[in-house]
Amino acid sequence: MTATTLFYIIIAIIIVNFIIDKILDALNAKHFNDAIPNELKDVYDDAEYKKSQAYKLTNYKFGVWSSTFSVALTLAFICFGGFEYVDVLARRFSDNSIVIALVFFGIIMFGSDILSTPFSYYKTFVIEERFGFNKTTIKTFILDKVKGVLMMAVIGGGILALIIYIFQLTQQHFWLYAWAIITIFSVFMNMFYAKLIVPLFNKQTPLEESSLRHKISEYAQSVGFNLEKIFVIDGSKRSTKANAYFSGFGNEKRVTLYDTLINDLEEEEIVAVLAHEVGHYKRKHIIYNLVASVLLTGLTLYVLSIFITNPLLSNALGVSTHSFHVGLVAFGLLYAPISEITGLVMNWLSRQFEYQADDYAKNTYKALPLITALKKLNKNSLSNLTPHKAYVFVHYSHPTLLQRMRNLLG
């Protein structure tokens, strides 16, 4: 194998990946105008349906433009020696390989962030705004960006520095230590995400005294879930779209309900959504997801450890001095087909978990309010009610509304 062969393999992976993705998008778009299944006819009235059609089409076109731009830029960057340029630049700052790696990723991340910001700006302030979803102010948008970058620099930079340090000490055995570090970090983040990270972006408050709290308390008691673990988050700060999720485990477990969800739904429907989230907890979905991602990380790191010392990785990207950080980039690009496959498996697993959580809500509470809740949530986010099967298989972490409804009624 020569560096040139490897270079062409990397380019081929990027292009094939892009083409498959665009075929799936186009296939899905071809079914935007399909007849809505009878069971879902009451989701939209005529005007809303037209609006949802326009929303799907707008997002589809935007997706084509933004992904084409991003892939073209990535290809150009690789073909015109972008990585070599940045690597040489980073080496001017220091002889220390950790500092070089941090500067290298810092420049690349900063550059790609600058280039992607106009797209996220357009998505939020033009598309979401036009369809009445956007509540984000320019100030929130900028603050989110700044906080995101700082968080990435501290956490991402910290973990990267630590892993390179261990790599220098242990060479190919580094993967075991790196695996341990990432596992400990994932468990910690899974537990404390709601306490440490969410408050940087949102306000979370305990459920207020109200008839809703009373109804929720009754349900929570019936299934043995602590009411103190239910929080309301100010999602309305950014968007009118509603959501709810379960996170953490042990003493740090909690259900988070968006204030938009509480505004949009009737009390019974909110309890049904909560019952679904409690179902995720009772069926231990967080733990299974964590275990799956830890195992996948271990596998990825092990494969990485086999190849990381090979200078072909850096040379394939046109970088003359082999290093851990450039090897990591090349490996990431080469590993993409495998991570696509593991992504498919994780999405499939997630859809099974959704059915289980729906079943739990149905068995411990009621199916009907969950169905009407799901219909309202789909309506209020102008969801696509007729997605293509292949698109659902690849991209959906939740079953479609129709599938969930049939399961709940079955």
Which residue numbers are catalytic?
277, 358
Residues 272/366, Cβ–Cβ less than 8 Å: yes
Which of 357, 370 has the CB closer to Zn ion? 357
Q: Which H or E run includes 256?
A: strand 254-258
* CB closer to Zn ion out of 357 and 367: 357
Instruction: Tell the smallest beta-carbon distance from residue 247 to Zn ion (Å).
Output: 12
**Minimal distance, residue 358 CB to Zn ion, in Å:** 8
DSSP secondary structure, 182-251, as one string? HHHHHHHHHHHHHHHTHHHH--EEEPPSSHHHHHHHHHHHHHT--GGGEEEE-GGGTBS---EEEE--GG
The structure tokens listed for 60 are 């589809």
**The pair of three-digit structure tokens given for residue 211, joined into one six-digit string:** 């008839």
Rounded to the nearest angstrom, the gap between the alpha carbon of residue 406 and the centroid of all alpha carbons in its chain is 27
Shortest separation between residue 387's beta carbon and Zn ion, angstroms: 18
Let me know: does 57 contact 32? Beta carbons within 8 Å: yes
The CA dihedral of 96, 149, 205, 138, to the nearest 10 degrees, is 160
Cβ closer to Zn ion: 233 or 357? 357
Residue 359: CA count within 13 A, CB half-sphere: 10
Least Cβ distance, residue 249 to Zn ion (angstroms):
16
Least gap, CB of 192 to Zn ion (angstroms): 21
- Phi, psi (rounded to 5 degrees) for 245: -155, 160
Distances in whole angstroms, Cα of residue 336 to Cα of each of 13, 18, 298:
8, 11, 16
Residue 257: CA count within 13 A, CB half-sphere: 30
Q: Identify whether the C-beta of residue 233 lies closer than 8 Å to the C-beta of residue 198.
A: yes
Cβ distance 98 to 167 under 8 Å?
A: no
Name which of 191 and 357 has its Cβ closer to Zn ion.
357
Q: Which is nearer to Zn ion, 128 or 354 (CB)?
A: 354
The least distance separating Zn ion from the CB of residue 137, rounded to whole angstroms, comes to 30
| Angle at alpha carbon of residue 376, lines to 378 and 358, rounded to 5° | 80
What is the rounded CA–CA span in Å between residue 168 and residue 153? 21
CA distance 259 to 160: 37
Q: How far is the CB of 371 from Zn ion (least distance, A)?
A: 14
Q: Phi/psi at 317 (nearest 5 deg)? A: -90, 10
If residue 258 lies in a helix (H) or strand (E), which one and from where to where? strand 254-258
Question: Site residues (CB under 5 A) for Zn ion?
Answer: 354, 357
Nearest approach, Cβ of residue 271 and Zn ion (Å): 15
Nearer to Zn ion among residue 135 and residue 253 (C-beta): 253
